[in-house]
Amino acid sequence: MSLQVDAARLTHELQVLATFSAAPAPAVTRVVFTEPDRAARAYVRSLCTAAGLSLREDAVGNLFARWAGEDPSLPAVCTGSHIDAIPNAGMYDGTVGVLGALEAIRALQATGLRPRRSIELLMFTSEEPTRFGIGCLGSRLLSGLTDAGAASRLRDRDGATLDDARQAAGFTGTVADVALPPGQYTAFVELHIEQGPLLEQRGIGLGLVTAIAAPASLRVTIDGEGGHAGAVLMPARRDAFLAGAEIALAVEAAARSTDAIDTVATTGVCHVFPGAVNSVPSRCELEVDVRDIDEGRRDAVLARVETACVDVAARRRVSVTTQVVNADPPARCDAAVVDALTASCVDAGFACEPMISRAYHDALFMSRVAPTGMLFIPCRAGVSHRPDEYAAPEDIARGVHVLALALARLAS
């Protein structure tokens, strides 16, 4: 198959997509259902329509763009990723797997191929946990792991429910209908930047993911006693933030205690109430992220953090409540899909190597409902979730080329 990936077109589209942002360039902030997210969705829809794909959106805004195969009754081959971006992020996380998948479909269309199975681009809603505190919201619901009842209890920091937010964005369908019926897809493949340094360090252009690490997150709420920063004397204090600071250090210590390089933990959110320089913090809310490729070890870290919370609460005379927002199992990629990706690398003459994904992806949840694989491309210095995230056009084009070959193979 003589396949032409239009790297210049794809680079241009990634750059246009990056302009839909609540942060000044080069930073990208695109939180689900905010104005930049809605404008970015409209842009992606327009590109998919121009490529002749037929579009469908579900009740939470997952977008399905289908290139019909010769036999549309067969389970389709699915590919895709997300376009939402955490605060102060870069322009490649997720977007490469959406616009790259579209470019792969267009490159296949240009060869004159008519696939036997349909090929569907799936753009997932809210892979990032920024707004509702839980990652991979769209794919979780598609997989059926999270149900409509749990989704309806989600709220953002301003108290808006998921239902309020999705309906305001024009997604008014029934959340209970989002879960995919069994056997919908014969395979799912996600193209993504590595978000780590290994491919670049090893000089290898493509990584074939064999497993995805198990993510968990914890919300910790500390209630102490506020008061005047001048008048409340130190022995009388029940400072909620200082308790939170100790808990954040305990999170770090818990991750380090495993002595395993694969255990990581982060306290990435800390809200202090009332947030005035001359007021003792009365309340502190933390959001903690814990991951490991070993689920048991990850759970042991969560348990250590819970123990530390009890200890800090007693010593500092504050109340600490914890809520496990999610504690997901790791995923294994499907051998046949990995084989299809490997064969596609060989066909194209590109070197590749197997690897673990330490970041989570919608593929983690799609693996529950479809045989799943992931293709990684290098990103500069492994940097991600930062404005200086960068993937070279030739590396993106290589990933798109292999994705296209793999989609054709899986759809044949």
What does the binding site for ligand GLV look like in residue numbers (CB under 6 A)?
Answer: 128, 135, 359-360
Task: Output DSSP code: residue 176.
Answer: G
- Contact pick of 36, 90, 94, 135 for Mn ion (by CB under 5 A): 94
The first and second tokens of residue 97, run together, are: 């797997």
Which range, of 47-55, 91-99, 326-334, 342-350, touches Mn ion by CB under 5 A? 91-99
Instruction: Decide which of ligand GLV, Mn ion, none touches 360; Cβ closer than 5 to 8 Å per partner kind.
Output: ligand GLV
For residue 250, list its beta bridge partners. none
Q: Would you say 82 is a known binding-site residue?
A: yes
**Residue 128 Cβ, how far from ligand GLV at the closest point, in Å?**
6
CA distance 84 to 165: 15
Q: Would you say 271 is a known binding-site residue?
A: no
- Indicate the SS3 state at residue 207: strand
Burial 375-398 (b: 16+ CB within 10 A, else e): bbbbbbebbbbebebbbbeebbbb
Which range, of 14-22, 86-94, 181-189, 250-258, touches Mn ion by CB under 5 A? 86-94
CA distance 4 to 106: 9
* CB half-sphere exposure, 79, CA atoms < 13 A: 34
Q: Would you say 361 is a known binding-site residue?
A: no
- Residue 93 touching Mn ion (CB under 5 A): yes
Pairing of strands 279-280, 185-193: unpaired
Q: Would you say 385 is a known binding-site residue?
A: yes
Q: Would you say 93 is a known binding-site residue?
A: yes
**Residue 316 Cβ, how far from Mn ion at the closest point, in Å?**
34
> Nearest to residue 398, comparing CAs of 109, 195, 194, 127?
194
Task: Please name the residue ranges forming H helices in 70-168.
Answer: 95-110, 137-143, 148-152, 162-168
Between 30 and 401, whose beta carbon lies closer to Mn ion? Answer: 30
Between 297 and 358, whose beta carbon lies closer to Mn ion? Answer: 358
Q: Please identify the residue of the shown chain whose CB is closest to the bound ligand GLV.
A: 359
Annotated binding site: 82, 93, 128, 192, 385
Annotated binding site for Zn(2+): 82, 93, 128, 192, 385
Note the residues at the interface with Mn ion (CB under 5 A).
Answer: 93-94
